[in-house]
Chains A and B, each alone.
Chain A
């Protein structure tokens, strides 16, 4: 399975809109949403069956048995995440606990146990021909990188014979993105022509470069700021990145999304432009994997 990963650095550049269009255009048999903090792809790819759901267990959470606790304060001092408080009784804040297990080791009376904790939910949509893997992280859970890895694993195991997988990546540059990058054959970055968008784009390009993944760039809503769009094109040329096209701002796109459709499902200017971006990207992708 070869993976095309779509990233944006910053959220809201239209990454999911473009990923959903790609999925439609490629008639992709395997795709995934790695934005486990705020998954949106399922809203427009029109699943007609219910997903298979599996609980995702992150790291365990510490729990103090106050009956055996002798209030020696060791655990509180040992916890690097300020997760233990000592008001009336010694207590663990499950939202701050990272499950490292240090408190359990230092407790002299064995009053602490590590309890498994559900940190999210994996969802898998399948029918005869398509596999869609996605997940939702539980609020306040910090292990999203691991859940992203699970989403990809789930996709891989269900779609062994599929050649192309399209993956809607995670925003940011932290652990979830690093997890989405692992195993990706090529990255398409959806940039936004704003000063902040360019700054975010540069950071995500650096991150992808650390993994040596082939990277292409497209600009969404390019006509909202032509100067900045030019800057992005110049930047790509200078850095030797493939520039694969630009997509205009299109209020029809908002309508399509609000009706649960992709922009290629309706006749609109952004839909037409994304087709060209798709063709160029796939041409490059086939070279990379071939």
Chain B
């Protein structure tokens, strides 16, 4: 069972939820697809970490062969090529690796080379297999890293798999939820929270996913996110109160369910609620 945990914005407790659910489920898999800001490994502190570099193919020019016809530049939709001072320049960061320029060059002046854009790490923490994708600073797109993370885990669908998605509803999120059996949306009790929840809510509906909401940081006061769920008839899987003990454990990158029975009970109930839905 593959469960994607998402939220319209970072900082709502997406990592808190996915890390603690994975730790509660014990023999499980945790995949951190938030490759721009991977945080899950800080909590799990995995051991026996193996690392693999992730690369994409980008064009390399042979200036001896290039005659400056600029055909490649005309083709590139991403403005990743320019002809400056009698030389073809490739702007690596914006190249989308479509290979079109290589295919088109009449002089065969372009070939492809590998460029490392990030890495994938796997390790274990107790019985949880922890996968982390890390995008290198300065790179534009984490999609190839996410793809790699998810392809690796396709085969092990029998275990509880928790996918910590990137924030937002952009292409990276879609990549992360594509094969998920269930989506957990984590929402904050603010006006921002509702706005952001609405976006991921529309996203999971667009993809025809099953979904439910976990309300995080619940205060005594009125909760606009809860109101939203009731209005739209969205399943509320559970509530996590705003509590300083949990806040402190979390900000120190401790896994709450491994530190206290109280939170283990709380997340066991949440896990049950989720499993019942799938």
Residues of A within 8 A of B (CB): 9-13, 16, 37-38, 40, 43-44, 59, 78, 80-81, 95, 98-102, 105-106, 137, 139-142, 144-145, 171-175, 178, 192-197, 199-200, 203, 206-207, 210, 224-225, 227-228, 251, 254-255, 257-258, 260
Asked whether, in the complex, the Cβ of B10 is within 8 Å of the Cβ of A171, the reply is: yes
Q: Which residues of A contact B141 (CB under 8 A)?
A: 142, 174-175
Asked whether, in the complex, the Cβ of B10 is within 8 Å of the Cβ of A105, the reply is: no
**B158 → chain A closest CB, angstroms:** 25
Asked whether, in the complex, the Cβ of B100 is within 8 Å of the Cβ of A174, the reply is: no
Q: Which residues of B contact A257 (CB under 8 A)?
A: 190-192
Asked whether, in the complex, the Cβ of B221 is within 8 Å of the Cβ of A255, the reply is: yes
What separation, in Å, do the CA atoms of A145 and B8 have in the docked complex? Answer: 18
Q: Is B116 part of the binding interface, using a Cβ–Cβ cutoff of 8 Å?
A: no
Among B108-167, those with CB < 8 Å from A are 135, 137-143, 166-167
**Which of B36, B78, B195, B221 has a CB less than 8 Å from the CB of A100?**
B78
**Which of A172, A199, A260 has a CB less than 8 Å from the CB of B39?**
A199
What separation, in Å, do the CA atoms of A38 and B247 have in the docked complex? Answer: 24
Asked whether, in the complex, the Cβ of A37 is within 8 Å of the Cβ of B167, the reply is: yes
Asked whether, in the complex, the Cβ of B251 is within 8 Å of the Cβ of A43, the reply is: no
B218-243 vs A, Cβ < 8 Å mask (1 yes, 0 no): 01011010000000000000000000
Can you list 12 pairs linking A and B with CB atoms under 8 Å apart?
A: A10-B10, A38-B167, A38-B195, A78-B103, A100-B77, A100-B96, A102-B98, A105-B104, A140-B203, A142-B171, A171-B167, A172-B167
Q: Which residues of A contact B36 (CB under 8 A)?
A: 171-174, 203
Asked whether, in the complex, the Cβ of A195 is within 8 Å of the Cβ of B42, the reply is: yes
What separation, in Å, do the CA atoms of A193 and B11 have in the docked complex? Answer: 12
What separation, in Å, do the CA atoms of A192 and B253 have in the docked complex? Answer: 13
Q: Is B206 part of the binding interface, using a Cβ–Cβ cutoff of 8 Å?
A: yes
Asked whether, in the complex, the Cβ of A200 is within 8 Å of the Cβ of B39, the reply is: yes
**A39 → chain B closest CB, angstroms:** 8
Asked whether, in the complex, the Cβ of B98 is within 8 Å of the Cβ of A174, the reply is: no
Q: Which residues of A contact B96 (CB under 8 A)?
A: 80, 98, 100
**Which of A102, A192, A254 has a CB less than 8 Å from the CB of B190?**
A254
Asked whether, in the complex, the Cβ of B9 is within 8 Å of the Cβ of A171, the reply is: yes
Q: Is B93 part of the binding interface, using a Cβ–Cβ cutoff of 8 Å?
A: yes
Q: Known contacts A43-B195, A174-B140, A254-B190; decide if A196 and B15 are in contact (CB<8 Å).
A: yes
What separation, in Å, do the CA atoms of A4 and B168 have in the docked complex? Answer: 24
Q: Is B99 part of the binding interface, using a Cβ–Cβ cutoff of 8 Å?
A: yes
Asked whether, in the complex, the Cβ of A141 is within 8 Å of the Cβ of B170, the reply is: yes
Q: Which residues of B contact A254 (CB under 8 A)?
A: 189-190, 219, 221
**Which of A173, A197, A199, A251 has a CB less than 8 Å from the CB of B137?**
A173
Task: Give B254's nearest chain A residue, CB to CB.
Answer: A195
Q: Which residues of B contact A43 (CB under 8 A)?
A: 191-192, 195
Asked whether, in the complex, the Cβ of B253 is within 8 Å of the Cβ of A194, the reply is: yes
Q: Known contacts A38-B199, A195-B42; decide if A101 and B252 are in contact (CB<8 Å).
A: no
Asked whether, in the complex, the Cβ of A145 is within 8 Å of the Cβ of B140, the reply is: yes
Task: Give B75's nearest chain A residue, CB to CB.
Answer: A101
**B20 → chain A closest CB, angstroms:** 14
